[in-house]
Each structure stands twice: as structure tokens, then as C-alpha cells.
Structure 1
Amino acid sequence: MRAAYFRELRPYSEGEVRAELAVCIDEARAVIDTLMNCGIARYHTGDERDEEEAIKADGAGMAHRYQFRYVGIVVALGHVIICYPKYLRSSDRPENQMRQVLSVIRRMGQEGKLLDPQDGGRRSDQLALMVRLLLLYDEYGMYSNFEETRVPNGPGVIDWQRTIDMETPVISSGTPIYLDLWTRKTRRNEYDLVTRLHWAILSECSRFLTDSGLSVLLSIGTVELTDESPTDIGEPEYLLWVIDRERAGQFVTWKQDVLDLMRAYLSERGADADRGRVLRLGTTSYYHAWEVACKAAFGDLLGHRLRELPIALANGWHERRSETLLQIIPRPLWKRAQDMGDAGDVDTLIPDTIAFAETDGRSLFCIYDAKYYALNERGKIKGQPGVESITKQFLYQSAYQGFVEDHGFDGVVNTFLVPTENDEPKLLARVSFPGVMSGATGASEKFSDHIDVWALPAHEVFDCYLRRRKLDPTICASLLRQFNEGSM
């Protein structure tokens, strides 16, 4: 089965979709309609206002009507569709990059950080179930139960209690001697119904991924354990009853997960379900993955309590040492007219990432905001953060003004972070707000009167998230070096 590749949010014409799918126009329209019904594809109007979704494509005209608002894998009407992130521009089939993208999606799904697609049609989590089952098998092996047998004079461990109860000893010099010993042996029950069902489901999942060409992309090896299918073992209602009975007495966490996944798999009728469903492994909110990855890469301190920070707290801050860096941000204060009392707490500013850094003997307070944008690198700047994002970024440093000054930071780094497929970080632009945010907070020169826009190697940032490590120090140094030079 051939995979068709589409870039996230790039406008496509109906003819381009048909050519990539390699089908007739009627089949292409059917696939497009199916994807639009479940929120994966949408019409491109040209006046999208959502900053996180807006993207311009050179040469896009009225015929370029469709966008794929999705990153990941989709199987629709028998077609495998790969939607890759919008920052990947140099290749029409970025297989290597997609392996990392899918690893990020899987990890975020396991951690409960993945925002689900906003779908309205027939869709299924079956593909995600298949992948999860195969990964659990790779990590823990076969689901199996063990049965214990006792036999006289066997090769197992002696069961002294049963030997004493069942055998008559010979007394020699006052000491009992047992001529026959009962032994206990534990062996895997390979004929257990749940084990057979696990074999059948794993084999069926593996065959589906192999036939669709997804096993290589997902880095999942072939699993061929049996020729049986779940339907060969029993009717779905009976198998669900067997799983529920097994689940009631199972207390091993990974086995509980396997049973739950097998139940969900059978409930959706397995890999042989009707062709009209849409199977997917991905998200319409990949921008959230970029935000989470940047937090991991820079070692976000926003949720840390003040007493846990790698600095000595100044006088006046000890009383607030149990608060986090987020909690010390002031909140808007509303009061009702005519002195009717406080209107209560309201939401406040929430930065993406706060970090501390040192360069050339200077301590810096860094405010990073992850923006999943695809800025152009030449000519007039397009696709940049809007005025709301800019003003909020300046307000973040204003909110931390007292903390920065009291703790002797030498400067504030204020930066937007956007992803790029390139291997090196690059300063793309700088934005200021003359006449509105001049002098930033009106305080000392340590506070920034501009915001830099840096393009960071996406593969490096996402690798930090996957491996739970910090960003390469040379990349961090690049961001801070520009701060020291003070010019573009």
C-alpha cells in the first residue's frame, strides 16, 4: 500500500491531491470528503486569522482549496496518508523526519499531553491501539499465565508441606526419612485462551502495519506468532467476557493495560473493520508538542517553587518561598462599582518557559515563548506572531520586574522560538513596539526593549523531549551571544 504525503496547512488543489493519492478524481473526492468530515482536512479560504494555523503558500490560488490541519498518520478508504509538519519544506516525502514526529506523538499520548483531533465524522483510535499493543509486547513480551503442578519425585522444587501430608516417612535413629518427595513445578500455560487471543491480535496488527507500509515508518518489527485470527478463537461477545473475567483478577499494571487494549481492539472489530472508518495516529494540535519540547529543552522553571530555584532568595522573598515562579505573577484586580467589594480572582499571564542562564559572567533571566509558526526567511516578513503575542511577551518581563531586580540579574532575554528543519539555529527577526513598549518596563536597561525571533533545529529540540535532556549548550550560547552583541 503506497503512502501519500501532504504538508500540514499547505494549500492543495483537488488535482494535486488526486495525483499524490494516484487515484481517479471520484476516489480522490471521496477521500477528501471523508477527511473533511472528521476534521483532518478543511477548506483553504485565504483569510485564516488563527496565528497558530495561518500559513501562506507562494502561488496558492483559488484552485488550491484544501488544507490538512493535522500531523501524523491517517488511513482512510484504504489509503495511507502521512501529514508532516509545516516547517519541513525541503522534501515532499520526509520519511526520516516523520519517524521522530511519530515518536513525539506517541510519547505525548502516553503522558496524556496530546490534544485530540476535533473530529465530527467516523473515526477510530484503532491504529493507536495497534501500535500501543505492539510496543507493550516489545517491552514486556507475551501475556501469559502460569500453572503450578505437583508430582512425586519430579525435577522441580520440593514441596515439603505436601510431602509431609501425603507420604509416610521411615524412621532412622529417630530421624524421619522420606523415600518419596513431592515437587512443585511452574510452567507457562501456552494453551490459555487469553494468551492465544494475545498472539492472534498481535499477529493481525503486525500484518496490517506491514501491508500498509507503516511498520518501517513506526520502527516496529514484524510479529508473526500464529495463523489464528481473533474470530477463529471465538465470537467477539464471548472473547470480551473472557477478557473481563481475566481483568477482574489481574493486578499487574502492564497486563491490565494489555487487557484493556485488547478489549478496545475487539470492541472496534479489529483490523478487518469496515473500510469507511478513518484510522489515525496524530493530532490537529502539533503546536502543543513544540511548546512541550521547548520546555524540556530549556529546563523550564515556571512550575518550580522559589526555594527550589538555583539562586539564593533575596530578602522579602523568603516569605513566598513556597510559591512557584508562575504564582508570583500579579493578577488583574477587579472591583465592582460603588464599593461593592472585590470581584474575585481572575486569570493572569502564563509564560511558556522561564530559564536562568549565564554568559560571559552575566546572569540572565530568560523568557522564551514557543511559537509554532513558519516564518519566511527572505523579503517582507510573513507568518510572524501578532500584536497580542508581542504585547504579552513584553508584559511577562514587566510582571517579573521586581524579582529580576531584587535578585541581581544582569539582563532579561526575551525570545520567540520557532521550529526549522535546518541543523543550525538562526536569528530570523527582531520586533520592538516604539511608542507603546519603548523602554520595555520603564525600568533599567537590563530589561529588553525588543523580542528576538529565533529558528531552532526542530529535530534537536524534539530529541531533548524524547531523551529527557537539555538543549545542546552551543545552541543556547548562540541565543545568548546575540544578546551580548546587542545588534542584528
Structure 2
Amino acid sequence: MRVAYFRELRPYSEDEVRAELAAGIDETRAVINALMGCGIVRYRTGDERDEEGLSEADGACAAQRYRFRYVGVVIARGHAIVCYPKYVKSTTRPEGQMKQALKVIRNLGKKGKLLDPQEGGMHSDRLALMIRLLWLYEEYGIYSNFEETRVPNGPGIIDWQRSIDMEIPVISDGVPIYLDLWTRKIRRDEYDLIMRLHRAVLSECSRFLEKSGLSSLLSVGVVELTDEKPVNIGEVEYLQWLIDRERANQFVTWKQDVLDLMRAYLSELGADAEHGRVLRLGTTSYYHAWEVACKVAFGDLLDYRLRELPLELADGWLDCECETLLQVIPRPVWTRAQGMGDAGDVDTLIPDTITFAEVGGKRLFCIYDAKYYVPNEHGKIKGQPGVESITKQLLYQSAYQRFVEEHGFDGVTNTFLVPTEESVPRLLGSVSFPGVMSAATGASEKFSDHIDMWALPAREGFDCYLRGQVLDPAVYESLLGQPDVGQDASSPTIDCAHELLPMG
């Protein structure tokens, strides 16, 4: 099966889709309709207002009316389709970037949860079921049950209690000597139907993915355990009854997961399900993955209690040392008219990432906002964060003004982080808000009067997430060390003020 590649949010014409699928007109339209039916392909009207996708439509003609709003793999009407992230603009097929993206999706999708709750869990789609089963096999091996038997004078561990109960000893000098001993023997039940079913399901899943051409991309090895198919073992209802009986007596978590997945797989009719169904593993919310990656890469401190932060709390903050940095932000207060009482608590501002750094001997309070945008490179900026994002970012530093001033920070940095396929961070621009920014930040020079927008290497950011480590110091230094737009200052040296801190 040929694998077709499409870039997230890039407009495609019907002819471009047909050429990539290597299919006829009728088949192409059927695939597009199937993908539109499950929200993977959206129709481009030309008057979209979503900030993150505006730059993707630059120069698009009227015929380019289809957009893949999705990152992941799809099988539709026998066609294997890969939708890769929109920040990958290289002309070659991005196998390496997609392998990383699928690892991120896999990591965020552990325990049957995908990035977007509306898309359902791992149990809701047959492709996800197959891949999850193969991943569990890769980690734990084949599902097996063991039988424990006792035999006289056999190999294994001596069962002294049974030996004493069953055998008559010889007394020598008042000491009992047992000439025959019973031993415990544990063997795997090779004829167990659940084990046979597991082997058959895994082999069928592996053959299906190998045929689709997705095995390598999904980093799933070939699994050939048996020629037997699930239908050869028994009827679906009987196999599900066996699974339910086994599940009632199984208390090992990964085995419970295998049983649940196999039952769902059988209810989906295995690998021989309806040809016209769309199978998928991915998300329409890959922006969430970028937000999570940036939190890890920069060592987000939002959820840390104040007493756990890498600083000495000022006297006025000791009474709230158990609060988190997020709880420091005040909440809006509503009151009802005509003295009708308190209107209750409402939601407040929630920044993406807060961290501390030292730059040239100065302590900085850093506010980062991960934006899954791809701004255009030339002319008027398109696809950049809009006025709502700008004002929220401004309010974040205003909300932390007292904390910054009373803990002796020398300055505040305010930064948008957008992903790029490039290998080094790059300053794309900065935004100021004359007449608004200065009024909100106050007269103190500690607070930023602009917000920088940096392109951060996506590979580095997602690697940090997968490893659970902060950004490499060299990359971090490059990002914070360059001068602002329009300035001639030399790049200061920086030291990261903390590593990932253990939660208390």
C-alpha cells in the first residue's frame, strides 16, 4: 500500500490530493468525503479567521479548498495517509519528524487517552487498538497463564509442607530424614485459549500494518507468532465470554489492558472490518502537544508550591508558602447589583509557562506562551498571535508584578514560542502596544514593554518532552542571549537558574 503525505492546514486542490493518493477522480472524492465526515479534512471557505492558519493560505488559489486539520496517520478506503505537522515545510517526505510526532502522541495517549477528549480514547478506533496492542506486546510480551503442579522428586522448589504431610521419614539419631520429596513445578499453559487468541490478534494486526506500509513509521516490528486467525479459534461471542471470565480473575494492570483491548478489537470485527471505514491514530489538537513540550523544555514552575521554588521567600509571602505560582494570580471579582450578594469565584488567567533564569548576573522572571503558529517570513506578518493573546500576555506580567518586585527580580521577559523545523532558535520579531503596554506595566523598568516572538526548534522541544528534561543549555543560551529586534546589544551569557524540580 502506498503512503500519501499531507501537510497540516496547507490548502490542497482536488487534483493535488488525487496525485498524492495516486487514485482516480471518483476514488479521490470518496476518500475526501470520508475524511470530511470524521473532521480530518475541512473545507476552506477563504474567510477563515483562525490566527494560526492564516499564513498557510497565502497565495492559495480558489481550487485549493481542502485542508487537513489533523496530525497523525489515517487509513481510508485502503489508502494509508500521513498528516504531518504544519511547521514542517521541507519538500522531502518528513519520516523523521513524523516518527517523533507519533511518539509524542503515543506518550500523551497512554492509558487510552488521546490529546482531544472529543476524539475518544484508544478503545474507540480500530487502528489505535491495533497499535496499542502491539505496543503492550513490545513492552510486556505475550499474555500467558501458568500452572503450578507438585511432583515427587522432581526439579524445582521443595514443598516441605506437602512432603511432611505425604511422606514417612526415616529417623536417624533422632533426626527425621525424608527420602522422597515433593517439589513445585510451574509451567506455562501453552494450550490456554487466551494466549492463543492474543497470538492470533497480534499476528493479524502486524500483518495489517505491514501491508499498509505504516509499520516502520509507527516503529512497530513485524510480529509473526502464528498462522491462526481469531475466527479460527471461536465465534466472537464465545471469545468475548472467555475474555470476560478471564478479566474477572485478572489483577495485573497490563494484562487487564490487553484483555480490554482484545475484547474491543473483536467487537470491531478485527482486521476484516468494513473497507469504507476511516481508521486513525492522531489528533486535531496537536497544539496541546506543543504547549506541553514547552512546559517541560523550560522547566515550568506554575504548579510548584512557593516553598519549593528556587528562591528565598520574602517575609510577606511566608503565610502562603503552600500556594502555587498559579494561585498567586488574583481572580476577577463580580458583585451583583443592588446588594444581592457575592457573585462567587470566576476563572482567572492561566499562563502557559513560568520559569526563572539568570542572564549576565541578572535574575529574570520569564513568561513563555507556546503558540502553535507558523508566521509568514516576508512582508506584513500573518499567522502571528492576535490582539487577545498579546493583551493576555501583558496581563500575566501585571498579575505577577508584586511577586516580582518583592523577590528582587531584575527584570521580566515576555515571549511567544512558535515551532520551527530549523535547528537553532531564531528571533522572528517583537510586538509592543503603545499607550497600553506602558500603562499596564507601570513605571518600573523591570517590566517588559514588548513581547518577543521566537521560533524554537520543534525537534528539540519535543525531545525534551519525550526525555522529561529541560532544554539543552546551549539552545537556551541562544534563545535568551540574542538582542531584541532593533537593538545592537551584544549577546549576554546566561545560566539556567534551575533544573526540573521534584514535586513535593
TM-score by length of 1: 0.96
Query: Which consecutive unaligned segments of at least 5 residues does structure 2 have?
Result: 489-504
Q: What's the CA shift for 1:474? A: 1.8
The residue that corresponds to 2:388 in the other structure is 388
Cα distance, 1:347–1:57 mapped onto 2, change above 3 Å: same
Q: Which residue of 2 aligns with 1:99?
A: 99
Write the deviation string for residues 336-385 of structure 1: whole angstroms up to 9, x where unpaired.
12232221111111100000000110000000000000111222211111
Residues 18 and 28 in structure 1, CA contact (< 8 A), matched pair in contact too: yes
* Equivalent position of 2:222 in the other structure: 222
CA distance in 1, matches of 2:237, 2:203: 21
- Cα distance 1:229–1:247, how it changes in 2: closer, same or farther (>3 A)? same
3-state SS of the aligned residue for 2:334?
Answer: coil
Between stretches 268-277 and 406-415, larger displacement belongs to: 268-277
CA distance in 1, matches of 2:22, 2:408: 63
Ranges of 4+ aligned residues in structure 1 off by more than 4 Å: 117-120, 483-486
Following superposition, the deviation at residue 14 of structure 1 comes to 0.5
Alignment of 1:106-121 (within 5 A): 106-110=106-110, 114-116=114-116
> Taking every aligned residue pair, what percent have the same amino acid on both sides?
76
Partner of 2:84: 84
Q: In the alignment, what sits opposite 1:45?
A: 45
**Secondary structure of 2:35's aligned partner:** helix
* Aligned equivalents of 2:43, 2:484: Cα separation in 1: 45
CA distance in 2, matches of 1:55, 1:113: 31
Deviations 1:3-47 (A, max 9, x none): 100000100000111110000000000000000000000101122
**Change over 3 Å in CA distance of 1:112–1:334 after alignment to 2:** farther
Q: Any conservation in 2 of the 1:117–1:283 contact (CA below 8 Å)? A: no
The alignment of Structure 1 onto Structure 2 pairs a total of residues equal to: 486
Structure 2 CA distance, aligned partners of 1:418 and 1:111?
29
Structure 1 unaligned segments of length 5 or more: list them. none
Tell me whether 1:425 sits opposite 2:461 in the alignment. Answer: no
- Deviation readout 1:311-339 (Å, 9 max, x if unpaired): 00111111111111111111111111223
Aligned counterparts of 1:289 and 1:443: Cα–Cα separation in 2: 37
Shift of 1:174: 3.3
Give the alignment of 1:467-478 within 5 angstroms: 467-478=467-478
Counterpart amino acid of residue 138 in structure 2: D
| AA partner of residue 420 (structure 2) | T
Alignment of 1:240-319 (within 5 A): 240-319=240-319
CA contact (8 A) 2:208 2:271 kept: yes
Amino acid at match of 1:274: E
Query: 1:59 corresponds to which residue?
Result: 59
Determine the C-alpha separation between the residues in 2 that align with 1:91 and 1:118.
Answer: 32
Name 2:404's counterpart in structure 1.
Answer: 404
Assess, with a 3 A threshold, how the Cα gap between structure 1 residues 341 and 483 changes in structure 2: closer, same or farther. Answer: farther
Structure 1 pair 468–320 and aligned structure 2 pair: CA distance change class (3 A)? same
Match of 1:69 in 2: 69
Q: CA RMSD in A?
A: 1.8
C-alpha separation in 1, matches of 2:178 and 2:202: 48
The answer to whether the 8 A contact 2:52-2:383 is kept is no
Match of 2:15 in 1: 15
Distance (Å, rounded) in 1 between the aligned partners of 2:221 and 2:78: 22
| Structure 2 match to 1:338 | 338
Contact kept, 8 Å, 1:439 with 1:449, in 2: the verdict is no
* Residue aligning to 1:181: 181
Greater shift in the superposed pair: 308-317 or 42-51:
42-51
> Which residues of 2 match residues 441-480 of structure 1 at below 5 A?
441-480=441-480
Aligned-residue offset at 1:297: 0.4
CA shift digits 1:251-298 (9 cap, x unpaired): 111111111111111111111111121110000000010000000100
Asked if the contact 2:307–2:322 (Cα under 8 Å) also holds between the matched residues in 1, the reply is yes
Alpha-carbon distance in structure 1 between the residues aligned to 2:173 and 2:379: 104
CA distance in 2, matches of 1:360, 1:383: 33
Match of 1:166 in 2: 166
Partners of 1:415 and 1:111 lie apart in 2 by: 33
Q: What TM-score, normalized to structure 2?
A: 0.93
